[in-house]
């Protein structure tokens, strides 16, 4: 009877440890999915950045060939540079990101939380840059 009771205690203890490990693994996988979802959303905006940069460059070049307001040309140049910075921020994040497959759980969670914050900043930069560029193009592209 004592052996059976001891066996039951060991089995319950092991299953509790397994549940904890599974829960920790699930949290890690969820966080990694969130990071990659942010990445995917940002990647979807890369085409917008490319098109806006091309359109604003073309507009700026057209205005430079004519007598044009230098403030407008400076604004267009600034928007183009902002788009380039947003593009580079995304590229830099992708170059440095490494999946945390070889890290212990605690290290992986710290890394993924840091990468999540970085990707949120990149996405926010891209969103605001795209919005500003779209507004500028809508204003000056029709003139």
All structural domains of the chain with their residue ranges: 27-140
pLDDT at residue 67 in the model = 81
Residues 86 and 140: their CA atoms lie apart, in Å, by 21
Q: Are 118 and 90 a contacting pair, CB within 8 Å? A: no
How crowded is the C-beta side of 65, counted as CA atoms within 13 Å? 6
pLDDT for 21 beyond 90: no
Helix 70-96 to helix 105-140 angle (10° resolution) is: 160
- pTM equals 0.81
pLDDT digits (tens, 9 = 90+) for 75-109: 999 999 999 999 999 999 999 999 998 999 999 99
Helix segments in the chain, DSSP class H: 2-44, 46-64, 70-96, 105-140
pLDDT above 90 for 24: no
- 137, 111 contact by CB (below 8 A): no
């Amino acid at each position: 009877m004592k052996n059976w009771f001891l066996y039951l205690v060991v089995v319950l203890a092991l299953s509790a440890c397994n549940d904890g490990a599974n829960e920790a693994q699930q949290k890690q996988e969820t966080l990694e999915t969130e990071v990659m979802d942010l990445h995917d959303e940002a990647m979807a905006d890369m085409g917008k950045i490319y098109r806006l940069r091309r359109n604003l460059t073309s507009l700026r070049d057209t205005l430079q060939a004519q007598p044009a307001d230098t403030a407008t040309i400076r604004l267009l140049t600034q928007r183009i540079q902002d788009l380039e910075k947003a593009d580079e921020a995304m590229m830099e994040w992708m170059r440095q990101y490494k999946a945390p497959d070889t890290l212990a759980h605690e290290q992986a969670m710290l890394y993924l939380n840091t990468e999540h914050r970085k990707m949120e900043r990149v996405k926010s930069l891209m969103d605001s840059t795209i919005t500003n560029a779209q507004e500028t193009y809508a204003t000056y592209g029709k003139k």
